[in-house]
C-alpha cells in the first residue's frame, strides 16, 4: 500500500467548508483500504494530496516536486464557482483563475469531483491531466434513522405533521440563498432552515439585507456539527439545494445518503448521475422548484429516495479509497520514485 500525505497547511481555514470535508473524506477513504496516511511527508510520503489554493499550498507543491514526491491537486475550485460568492469575488474572479492555473500546474495529476468540473478545468489549458473522482460520502455515518429524525424535530419544536425543508451552505448568492428565502416566503406554512455560517465581513450587503428581511418561517441556526447535520437530514421532509454552480456538492451526497427527498436546481454539474424523477427532483426556475417542492411535501410525487441512496453508496468512502489506489499505481511520477523492487508489488494494488 502507498504512503500518502494530505497536506494540512491552511486546511484549518476551510475546515467548515466542503473543501475541509473533502480532505477528511480522503483520509477516511484511504484508511478503508489500509493505506498509510503519514504526517511527515518530506521523508516518508509516496504521494501528497493538496486541497487548498492558498500560497502555502503552492509552495508545498513546489517543495514536493523538488524532492520527487508526486503531487495530486484536488480541483475543488473554478472561476465559475468563485463568482457570486464573497464580497468582491466578481471583480477578483479573472485574477483568481490565473492563480488557480498557477497552482494546478504544479501537480502531476488534478482530481476534480465530476466530469462537468473536469471539462471546465481542461478548458483552462492546464499542463497536468485532469481526472474526475467524486469527493465521496460516509454512507455508514450518513444513513436513514427514524430516531435521528425524531431528535431533530424535537430540537426545533416541529409539531406532528409540520413540514420542514432544509439547505446547507455558506451565505452566498451562488449557493441560492436568495432563492431559498423567496421560496420560504411563498410557502409560509412550511418551516425552512438554512444551516451554515459565513464571516459577516465576507457576506455581500444584498445577502445580509435579504437575510434580515427573511420571513418568520425561515431560520438560520448557524453551523452544525456532523452529527447535528445528520439529524437535520434525517428529520427534514425535503432537502432543497438552489445552488447555481457546483463542482459536485458534498451536501447533496449527504442528503441522498440519509434518504432525504432531494430537490436541486437543474444545472449541468448533475448531468449524467442525478436524473429528475429517478433519484432526485430538479427545477430550472424558482417557479419549477416551488411546484416540485409542494409535490414532495404533499406526497404527490413518487418517492425516489431509495435510488438516491444508491447514488451515494456508489460513492462510498471504501469505493473512493480503492479508486485512489488505482490512480496512484498509474502515476508515472510515482513509479519513477519507487524502488524497482517495490514497483511491481505496488503496481498490483
Indicate the SS3 state at residue 164.
Answer: strand
Report the alpha-carbon distance of residue 296 to residue 315 in Å, rounded. 25
Confidence of residue 332 (pLDDT cuts 50, 70, 90): confident
Confidence of residue 209 (pLDDT cuts 50, 70, 90): very high
Kindly state the percentage of the chain with pLDDT values over 70. Answer: 94
Given this model, what pLDDT does residue 343 score? 47
**pTM of the complete model:** 0.92
β strands within the chain, DSSP E: 3-6, 36-37, 47-50, 71-74, 109-112, 130-132, 164-168, 191-195, 218-222, 238-241, 262-265, 281-283
Confidence of residue 218 (pLDDT cuts 50, 70, 90): very high
Angular region, 196: left φ>0, alpha ψ -120 to 50, beta rest: left
Confidence of residue 240 (pLDDT cuts 50, 70, 90): very high
Confidence of residue 122 (pLDDT cuts 50, 70, 90): very high
pLDDT at 167 over 90: yes
Task: Give the CATH fold of the 146-313 domain.
Answer: Rossmann fold (3.40.50)
3-state helix vs strand vs coil in the chain, percent to 5: 45, 15, 40
Confidence of residue 143 (pLDDT cuts 50, 70, 90): very high
Among 320, 174, 178, which residue's Cα sits nearest to residue 246?
A: 174
Task: Give the CATH fold of the 3-136+316-347 domain.
Answer: Rossmann fold (3.40.50)
Ranges for all domains in the chain classified under CATH 3.40.50.2000: 3-136+316-347, 146-313
Report the alpha-carbon distance of residue 131 to residue 291 in Å, rounded. 37
Report the alpha-carbon distance of residue 219 to residue 297 in Å, rounded. 19
Report the alpha-carbon distance of residue 310 to residue 166 in Å, rounded. 21
Amino acid at each position: 500500500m502507498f504512503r500518502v500525505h494530505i497536506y494540512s497547511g491552511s486546511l484549518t481555514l476551510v475546515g467548515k467548508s466542503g473543501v475541509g470535508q473533502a480532505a477528511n473524506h480522503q483520509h477516511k477513504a484511504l484508511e478503508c483500504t489500509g493505506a498509510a496516511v503519514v504526517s511527515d511527508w518530506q521523508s516518508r510520503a509516496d504521494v501528497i494530496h493538496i486541497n487548498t489554493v492558498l500560497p502555502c499550498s503552492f509552495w508545498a507543491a513546489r517543495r514536493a516536486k523538488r524532492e520527487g514526491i508526486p503531487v495530486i491537486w484536488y480541483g475543488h475550485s473554478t472561476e465559475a464557482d468563485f463568482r457570486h460568492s464573497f464580497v468582491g469575488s466578481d471583480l477578483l474572479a479573472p485574477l483568481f483563475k490565473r492563480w488557480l492555473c498557477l497552482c494546478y500546474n504544479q501537480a502531476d495529476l488534478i482530481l476534480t469531483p465530476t466530469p462537468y468540473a473536469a471539462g471546465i478545468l481542461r478548458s483552462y489549458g492546464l499542463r497536468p491531466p485532469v481526472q474526475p473522482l467524486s469527493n465521496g460520502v460516509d454512507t455508514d455515518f450518513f444513513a436513514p434513522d427514524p430516531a435521528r429524525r425524531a431528535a431533530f424535530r424535537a430540537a426545533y419544536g416541529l409539531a406532528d405533521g409540520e413540514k420542514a425543508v432544509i439547505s446547507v451552505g455558506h451565505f452566498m448568492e451562488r449557493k441560492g440563498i436568495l432563492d431559498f428565502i423567496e421560496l420560504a416566503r411563498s410557502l409560509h406554512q412550511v418551516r425552512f432552515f438554512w444551516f451554515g455560517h459565513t464571516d459577516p465581513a465576507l457576506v455581500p450587503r444584498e445577502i445580509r439585507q435579504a437575510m434580515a428581511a427573511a420571513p418568520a418561517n425561515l431560520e438560520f441556526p448557524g453551523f452544525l456539527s456532523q452529527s447535528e447535520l445528520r439529524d437535520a437530514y434525517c428529520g427534514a421532509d425535503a432537502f432543497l439545494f438552489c445552488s447555481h454552480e457546483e463542482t459536485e456538492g458534498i451536501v447533496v451526497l449527504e442528503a441522498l445518503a440519509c434518504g432525504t427527498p432531494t430537490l436541486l436546481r437543474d444545472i449541468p454539474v448533475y448531468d449524467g448521475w442525478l436524473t429528475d424523477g429517478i433519484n432526485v427532483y430538479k427545477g430550472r426556475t424558482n417557479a419549477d422548484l416551488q411546484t416540485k417542492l409542494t409535490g414532495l411535501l404533499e406526497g404527490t410525487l413518487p418517492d425516489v429516495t431509495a435510488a438516491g441512496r444508491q447514488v451515494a453508496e456508489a460513492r462510498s468512502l471504501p469505493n473512493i479509497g480503492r479508486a485512489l489506489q488505482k490512480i496512484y499505481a498509474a502515476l508515472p511520477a510515482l513509479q519513477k520514485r519507487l524502488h524497482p523492487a517495490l514497483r511491481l508489488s505496488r503496481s498490483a494494488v
